[in-house]
Amino acid sequence: MKKLLLTTAVAVTFAAAQPALSHEGEEHTQGKEMQMEHTAHADEAVSKATNSDQALSEIQGAIKEIGGMIKEGRIDEIHEVSERAATAIETLKEKSALEGDKKNRLDASLKQFSTQLGKLHTVSDAKDAEKTSAEFKKTEGALKLVESALK
């Protein structure tokens, strides 16, 4: 049940961020088969973190993995890893014990990071190595803001 709720929350998050996460050049009039395939793919990308420390580690690991993929020219593999990181963002937001101004700062930095991750996701789906590399650097910077907000 918890996995279903998290998957639903992720789906709603992605739908709300559609302009940032839209896939350039892709047809968006999906049939039922493609929607079911994407839902199954989203289930695989669900964060396994149960607390904020694990969620942050998952995010950091995903960004490190994406960096390696870019260096190796495996841009087409970034899609799934970025989706996994996106679900970990939601887990971090939900499981954080921060309150008040610190919580507001974390939420703002997570929103910025999520937006930047969406841009990275989009350019990597377009298989544009140069833009992917540039967006990755911005994504790393946005992650530093999240890490700073957690201190």
Q: Which stretches within the chain are classed as H helix?
A: 2-16, 18-21, 32-44, 52-71, 78-95, 100-125, 129-149
**Residue count (the chain):** 151
Asked whether residue 32 is assigned to any structural domain, the reply reads no
Asked whether residue 40 is assigned to any structural domain, the reply reads no
The pLDDT assigned to 5 comes to 46
The pLDDT assigned to 38 comes to 44
Total tally of structural domains belonging to the chain:
1
CA distance 4 to 20: 24
Asked whether residue 85 is assigned to any structural domain, the reply reads yes
Asked whether residue 68 is assigned to any structural domain, the reply reads yes
Structural domain for 136, as ranges: 51-151
The pLDDT assigned to 20 comes to 45
The pLDDT assigned to 32 comes to 53
Asked whether residue 98 is assigned to any structural domain, the reply reads yes
CA distance 4 to 129: 34
CATH number at residue 137: 1.20.120.290
The pLDDT assigned to 45 comes to 62
CA distance 132 to 94: 29
Q: Give the chain's residues under pLDDT 50.
A: 1-2, 4-12, 14-31, 33-43
Asked whether residue 76 is assigned to any structural domain, the reply reads yes
**Rg of the chain over CA atoms, in angstroms?**
15
Asked whether residue 100 is assigned to any structural domain, the reply reads yes
Asked whether residue 37 is assigned to any structural domain, the reply reads no
